[in-house]
Amino acid sequence: MDIITSRYAGYCTGVTRAIKTLDTVIKENRAGNNIYTMGPLIHNPKVIESYKRKGAYPLNDINLLKPGDSIVIRSHGVTPQVMDFLKEKKVKTFDATCPFVLKVHKLAKDLSSKGYYIVLIGDKNHPEVIGIKGNINNENYVIVDSVEESAKISPQKKIALLSQTTRTEENFKLISKEIAGKIKDEVLIINTTCKTAELRQNEVAELAGKVDIMIIVGGKNSANTTHLAEISKNIQARTYHIESADDLEREWFKNLKLAGISGGSSTPHEDINEIREIIESF
């Protein structure tokens, strides 16, 4: 079987930065202090388990932290209120928030301070979205994730549109078009979708149209990986979202000639290579 692997599969720069930050903290932890990450460092169960074995654990309740503990802020970022809490707790904090996500934080803060009603496109329960909305003044915002939801927004005098970085550009454009007609005086549309994610999504769409089967590799709890699988599934019905090589089934590839492989921003290159080798063995 012939295989085409996505050029953009593998860790994005934000995830790479977070991984390097945690590796450095572990290496320099000579005093043996507790090491935590703010929730799972990345949405990849296999990677998270490997870090647990190294003594770094995901933490969901920051009230459990003690002075002297170390915590790494993952690429999704956190609210300013959380950062203030960590400072008060005298916790060693290492901020690995993706620079592009931090840019959205700043935009949300600046625009809301200028009186804009913020429409944030994304998943209201996603940690990145929670971090962004923490920068908006006076609860002057709404979070939507579909054209149907955006249709319910009441008219505003001036409004600014921002997006969760991992949302698709197509979704951003459709919602922006729906909302633009509701504005009385001023609408500011800022496309804050991640360009790397956009390249990855576009490549998956192109690849799905060429191959007989698509394999999307990454955590089932990864938003960007799930979006890749959805994009691919809409084009190639034989699309399978797997977390590891253990999920592969030989029968999927029977009588097929060309397979495509891609992965989310939390998927290591070695996972992609391992899956490619196994498919080649079929």
pLDDT tens by residue, 44-81? 888 999 999 999 999 999 999 999 999 999 999 999 99
Long-range contacts of 36-41 (CB under 8 A, 24+ apart): 36/65, 36/69, 36/70, 36/71, 36/72, 37/71, 37/72, 37/74, 38/62, 38/71, 38/72, 38/73, 38/74, 38/78, 38/82, 38/127, 39/74, 39/76, 39/127, 40/74, 40/221, 41/72, 41/74
* Confidence band of 181 (pLDDT split at 50, 70, 90): confident
- Residue 147 sits in a domain whose CATH number is 3.40.1010.20
* pLDDT at position 145: 92
The predicted model scores a pTM of 0.84
pLDDT tens figures, 71-110? 999 999 999 999 999 999 999 999 999 999 999 999 999 9
In this prediction, residue 38 has a pLDDT band, given cuts at 50, 70 and 90, of: very high
The last residue of a domain, from among 97, 118, 148? 97
Positive or negative, the CA dihedral 75, 194, 171, 190 is: positive
Residues 21 and 72 in one domain: yes
Residue where a domain terminates, one of 64, 97, 130: 97
Instruction: Choose the final residue of a domain: 70, 97, 124.
Output: 97
Q: Which residues are catalytic?
A: 128
Query: In the structure encoding, which two tokens stand for residue 159, read together?
Result: 């409004």
Domain containing residue 142: 100-189
Cα–Cα distance measured from residue 218 to residue 242, given in angstroms and rounded to the nearest whole number: 6
CB-based contact 261:276 (threshold 8 Å): yes
Return d(Cα 260, Cα 216) in angstroms, integer. Answer: 8
> Is 49 found in the same domain as 36?
yes
DSSP β-bridge partners for residue 37? 58, 72
Query: Are 87 and 105 found together in one domain?
Result: no
State pLDDT tens for residues 187-244.
899 999 888 888 999 999 999 999 999 999 998 888 889 989 999 999 999 999 999 8
On the question of pLDDT at 30 being above 90, the answer is: no
Task: Determine contact, residues 109/83, Cβ cutoff 8 Å.
Answer: no
